[in-house]
Structure 1
Amino acid sequence: MALHPAGRPAPPAGVAPVAAGPSAVTSAPRDAVAARCVLTAASSLRLTLGDTTADLLSAHAVLPDGTIVLAVDAMSRTGGLLVAARGHGGAVRLDVTHLAPVAVRSRVRARLRITGTARRFDPAALDSCDPATVMSLLDLPPVALWAIEPAEIVLFRAAGSASVDVGAYRSARPDPIAVDEAAHLQHLTRCHSDLLDRLGALVDPATAAGSTRIVPVALDAEGIVLRAERPDGHADTRLPFARPVTAGGGLPEALRTLLG
């Protein structure tokens, strides 16, 4: 895993800069769901311990109660720092960048910052895990597992930042569609171009005027977002479903209803 010099990286384009806690507004319940979605769908995150950072790729999982599990070799430098940080409140920081899972400009949607406490993972936690979570833990690299208990959670979007209540975060559940968003969008793009053309026809003509293409960039249980790309920029249009989708199997029906 790559180690990087100390210091806070500049925020990605299109996302508000990191602000201290007091300037962050109180979050809505939807922000807690968004935070869970960002963590569950992310393939990588940045771990900061003191003045050292490490990028972890395919090395984390999220338990039903929101605890983040990291797979880090205890014999590595980062593992040694985790050993030293065990039990110290706020000694661990995690940063996750949420990207649109399609090849478009301005892919950064949000950033998530979590400050918390590191502990050795307790295997007894498996008793409260569903089969999908157990499988995600088994897919982690075969090294030491560490549990990160969140103490402060901040969600950064282009419109500003929101401090997510830890209790709301723990009780929230990821959006059932958003966690598999990349697979759904890839399937739509590869196998249902006719459906995408019909969805594109629902975009306001004034928004679509001058666009080079209309592409789906976001999908969740409550709707789909289409982006009209122009040489000088883009415009996003959200098409809400008639009712929230509760499982992947209900997505085709929601799209059919949306069309007619």
Structure 2
Amino acid sequence: MALHPAGRPAELAHAAGVDATAEVPAAGAPEASPDPNAVTARSALSTSSSLRLGLGDSTVDLIDSHVVLPDGQVVLAIDAMTRTGGLLVAARGRPGAVRLDVTQLVPVAVRSRVRAKVSMRGIVRRFDPASLDSCDGDTLLSLLDLPPVALWAVEPADVRVTRDDSEATTSITAYRAARPDPLAATEAVHLQHLSRHHRDVLDRLATLVDPALTAASTRVVPVAVDTAGVVLRAEALGGYVDVRLAFARPITGSAGLPEGLRTLLAEAAGRRPSRATVDVGRPPAAPCDLPATACGLPIV
């Protein structure tokens, strides 16, 4: 029997154009950071609601059926009485017999949304309830939300991250040591909030982008925000360019985002506005109806 954390038993049986990410560095030397590919892998696996499971020549897409443990193992909830469950039984303990694939997407409506593809090969075993001792509260709650079927743990043996057709292998040590980016789980909310309610902030941030890019663009839209900075995309008819605006110092979570943006806005205050920072035909920004303390973005 494989025990579900809830106490329920289960039987075992780019776009046509440029995608060059330029960076506008902040003053001061950056602090040492984990392997970025390892962070990408952990972020993508932890925040994605789906993944593709490969077992030999068979593949299946799992929806809301996986959780990543603090040590990097991936827990899968799969009914052992299905064909996929039977294949997992046959694959137990075999190195590299299981493959997990996740695609990390830009969480806003733009062209060329694929950021990275993460592929993990590993060894699958029955989930060991002793692993619960090392889990934090959020991970335990996520495990409880899994379907009440057999749980399997995939031990990573090989992790690869592909960006722009360039593949990099991440060491298992780096993968285990990394954690998801502090803003990974809430990034979509922050980007959508910024776009809908804080166009004034966007317009001022756009002045930090090369005026030659914004002058030739049809719109400038935020496509990423993480512990290190915010990424604006200057879209044109023939392609786009992503520009990273680095925070003065890495932030450790959503609570630090307003201060990170304030440092960028202070830098933008001394610059002359570029010629094209307003989206073509965009509707007026909706007023933010959240209290200032809950809005999460500075009012400028």
**TM-score clears 0.5:** yes
Listed as ranges, the matches of 1:160-179 within 5 Å are: 160-179=166-185
Q: Which residue of the other structure, out of 243, 250, 267, is the alignment partner of 1:244?
A: 250
Listed as ranges, the matches of 1:159-198 within 5 Å are: 160-198=166-204
Q: Which residue of the other structure, out of 63, 67, 73, is the alignment partner of 2:69?
A: 63
Q: Name the counterpart of 1:224.
A: 230
Contact 2:124/2:152 (<8 A) preserved: yes
Q: Secondary structure at the match of 2:122?
A: strand
Hey, what's the Cα distance between the residues in 1 that align with 2:203 and 2:82? 51
Q: Name the counterpart of 1:83.
A: 89
Hey, what's the Cα distance between the residues in 2 that align with 1:253 and 1:239? 14
The total of aligned residue pairs comes to: 236
Gaps of 5+ in 1: 1-11, 15-27
Q: CA RMSD in A?
A: 1.6
Contact 1:120/1:147 (<8 A) preserved: yes
Hey, what's the Cα distance between the residues in 1 that align with 2:73 and 2:198? 37
TM-score (norm 1): 0.87
Q: Name the counterpart of 2:23.
A: none
Contact 1:32/1:169 (<8 A) preserved: yes
How many angstroms does 1:159 deviate by? 5.9
Q: Name the counterpart of 1:210.
A: 216
Q: Name the counterpart of 2:36.
A: 30
| Alignment of 1:256 onto 2:262 | yes
Hey, what's the Cα distance between the residues in 2 that align with 1:139 and 1:73? 15
Identical pairs, percent: 64
Q: Which amino acid aligns with 2:44?
A: V
Q: Name the counterpart of 1:126.
A: 132
Hey, what's the Cα distance between the residues in 2 that align with 1:184 and 1:156? 25
Question: 1:138-196 CA distances to partner (integer Å, 9 max, x unpaired)?
Answer: 22222211100001111111161111100110111111013321122122222322212
Q: Name the counterpart of 2:9.
A: none
Q: Secondary structure at the match of 2:185?
A: helix
Contact 1:116/1:151 (<8 A) preserved: yes
Gaps of 5+ in 2: 1-13, 17-33, 267-300
Hey, what's the Cα distance between the residues in 2 that align with 1:234 and 1:43? 28
Contact 1:116/1:149 (<8 A) preserved: yes
Q: Name the counterpart of 2:293.
A: none
Q: Secondary structure at the match of 1:257?
A: helix
TM-score (norm 2): 0.75
Question: 1:58-115 CA distances to partner (integer Å, 9 max, x unpaired)?
Answer: 1111000000011111111111111111111111001111111111001111111100
Q: Secondary structure at the match of 1:45?
A: strand
Contact 1:98/1:109 (<8 A) preserved: yes
Q: Name the counterpart of 1:74.
A: 80
Contact 1:177/1:245 (<8 A) preserved: no
